[in-house]
Structure 1
């Protein structure tokens, strides 16, 4: 059997995605013929029209590849496997194993460093993450199913969690914050504080005050101390990387999982245990803690024995953050008192009220 690994988002221009191959607007052979004689500039000009309301060429070419296989299904024993957003492992080889920055791993690493603090996204929207070992186990079972139970039709399998064990971007925000506050990374630059918002205006305001200005301030401190400024460049790269995910964090889809259910029912209890891909078994708080620790161990190459040192660094950042906030509050308040009559009147009222309360406290204490 020829098992083709696609993506659950290859037909993201449709909100309800069934386990079938969708016909693309342009036939694969016509697209291939056009690529033979068109130069790069012409293709770049025509790309937005060709992909239509899909967000990028990746999802479009995945759909094209699926249809090309569908057209040749009589000659090839093809089966299509569509995972959603592949993340760290749930159990195998160890919980939290991951070896790249793809998908949510890059987001979580930036959150752990404190460099990514605001993202466009639906707080209540589905974050359809699938652990890599769950996807791998299901791929093996899918191949077995199509050898033992042959079918004349080309079968498509969705490997997704959204309809069977929902996990939201808001849960990711909260759980990643809790995990990285409990187990910070050694390279933490700011206090982890991720936030998802659907408001364009609020997002841009937060990016300015929580990403851009602090990056320039930290670079200025690096320059003064004789080190090479890096934070502005990091923020530029981070914004481009996160921007490519905006479409997926602000929208959600319904994926049919009928073939997944049927496959589980065909397997023996022993096989279901050995090749576990039952997404209902995932406990998201446990998974996210393992994921964040896995990023620390396997991606950032940090030793867990250094956690105490990382926690001390985070506490120092918390003290600095508190001191800066107090300084800014006093500076702004002093400016308002000196420039705005209403603020000055309010300050005098509050100060007078506080003085009267303190004067009455000894009398209250004596009477009691």
Structure 2
């Protein structure tokens, strides 16, 4: 073993521990739960905070979660996983997380490791709700953790973009523009209209309420955790799984997945983005492997200060938006989505005027034409509405596709040095091993299979449909070119002369071909 760590390995540490996970029904939370069950099978118990939703109880939601394909390996390898997982009905936006006094008593006596990943990840969320979930929820959790008698580690999941108003982001907690408690106090008497009117001014250089409240939550942890064993993990743009439990798993439209769906459908063809800029995509299994390792390190090695881990790829294994453009086109042409509106043709540009022209001529006008056709044949027009929704979503992402940051990774490197070779293999978070081409192919396939719920056996039919669209696209372009050219010929003498010259060259070449053939 390198470094100065205790000889206790990661799986060995988690054996016999009782955990609490918030946000386990979210994307990262599901992967975290699956990985803990599969790689740390001797865990005593995992309490999961789940709220009732749409008529389903916490228990029913957990049962539905464990039946998903994500947990296939665990179901095959682990006996009675339900006995290890205990749903606790609660909600991070409620006082005391919505927990009963009885549940608080049980958790305070048993829980030794807490993973807090519950949050709203909607960029355009109203400030009040974002504050309730991302800041007040953290405050309630800290108050709860102060009651835990056996607590060894509290791991808070933030975001690498909490401090996106800076160009260089170190592994430390920065002072927020406003003390979180002052905003919390103001939210108690301020109505929604007043908060919404102040939002733009409060955000300052930050693009949305998500990054703003995440920065506040970090500062709140620093101020109120006291002697609690806490660490903060900052993942960047979380995408599909790299390796575990299988490549390409993803189950939502957030972040880059939504872009891939729009690209694959052919409805997103141009957006603001730095072609050569870093697309800091992070596989979800790398994020969760780091979280588990940070929990172990915090408990076993007991750092003397609050540790922050920038979990990013850009400085270690750069992947650009230009590569994403190229790979997404290549793999959606190879494995097309079943029902597509147009041939995929994604483009990132850093020029606003060029983007706006493309939106008008390559997005909105075709949408109106297709809706007009649907209206003629008696079907409901949908394409203009799709474009409206698309550009609302794309606008919230363009800040991140158009800017670039430099993240420090010293603590990540230090953590790897403290691990055994076996643990580095089992809980692998080395982003330098990612082969981006292969990863993106799996990501595109995973988007088809797990997000759009498409059957891989339908690929031959999808490829035939794509080929048909390509022929139609070529024919339409040829017709438009010929019409425009003929109009120019009739109006511009230079264009007419050029047309006659081209025709003359073509006739000359065709006349020479038989003579050349005879001479050879």
TM-score, normalising length: structure 2: 0.69
2:334 aligns with 182
2:344 aligns with 192
1:327 aligns with 479
Q: Which 5+ residue runs of structure 1 have no aligned equivalent?
A: none
Q: Indicate the larger mover: 354-363 or 134-143.
A: 354-363
1:31 aligns with 183
Matched, 1:52 2:204: yes
- For each residue in 1:94-122, what CA deviation from the matched residue of structure 2 results, as whole angstroms up to 9, or x when unmatched? 10000000110000011011111101000
Contact 1:88/1:98 (8 A) holds in 2? yes
- For each residue in 1:111-170, what CA deviation from the matched residue of structure 2 results, as whole angstroms up to 9, or x when unmatched? 011111101000000000110111011100000000001122111011110101110000
Match 1:301 to one of 434, 447, 453: 453
SS for the counterpart of 1:166 is coil
How many pairs are equivalent? Answer: 368
Contact 1:73/1:154 (8 A) holds in 2? no
Contact 2:175/2:219 (8 A) holds in 1? yes
CA distance in 1, matches of 2:303, 2:508: 86
CA distance in 2, matches of 1:115, 1:85: 22
2:395 aligns with 243
SS for the counterpart of 2:187 is helix
CA distance in 2, matches of 1:337, 1:63: 61
Q: Indicate the larger mover: 76-85 or 98-107.
A: 76-85
Q: Which 5+ residue runs of structure 2 have no aligned equivalent?
A: 1-152
Relative to structure 1, the CA distance from residue 81 to residue 346 in structure 2 (aligned partners, 3 Å threshold; closer, same or farther) is same
CA distance in 2, matches of 1:176, 1:361: 42
Question: C-alpha displacement at 1:224, in angstroms?
Answer: 1.8
Q: Which runs of 4+ in 1 moved over 6 A?
A: none
TM-score, normalising length: structure 1: 0.97
2:242 aligns with 90
Q: Indicate the larger mover: 40-49 or 134-143.
A: 40-49
Matched, 1:284 2:440: no
Question: C-alpha displacement at 1:360, in angstroms?
Answer: 4.2
Q: Give the CA RMSD over aligned residues.
A: 1.2
Contact 2:249/2:446 (8 A) holds in 1? yes
Q: Indicate the larger mover: 186-195 or 342-351.
A: 342-351
Ranked by relative contact order (alpha carbons within 8 Å, sequence separation 6 or more), the top structure is 1
CA distance in 2, matches of 1:8, 1:354: 59
What are the equivalent positions in structure 2 for 1:28-177 lying under 5 Å apart? 28-177=180-329
1:203 aligns with 355
Question: C-alpha displacement at 1:241, in angstroms?
Answer: 0.2
CA distance in 2, matches of 1:199, 1:358: 44
1:272 aligns with 424
CA distance in 1, matches of 2:518, 2:232: 82
CA distance in 2, matches of 1:363, 1:350: 21
CA distance in 2, matches of 1:165, 1:192: 27
Question: C-alpha displacement at 1:92, in angstroms?
Answer: 1.0
1:225 aligns with 377
Contact 2:229/2:299 (8 A) holds in 1? no
CA distance in 1, matches of 2:369, 2:488: 24
What are the equivalent positions in structure 2 for 1:323-362 lying under 5 Å apart? 323-362=475-514
Relative to structure 1, the CA distance from residue 350 to residue 275 in structure 2 (aligned partners, 3 Å threshold; closer, same or farther) is same
Relative to structure 1, the CA distance from residue 11 to residue 341 in structure 2 (aligned partners, 3 Å threshold; closer, same or farther) is same
Match 1:6 to one of 147, 158, 163: 158
Question: C-alpha displacement at 1:41, in angstroms?
Answer: 2.0
Q: Indicate the larger mover: 349-358 or 317-326.
A: 349-358
Matched, 1:259 2:411: yes
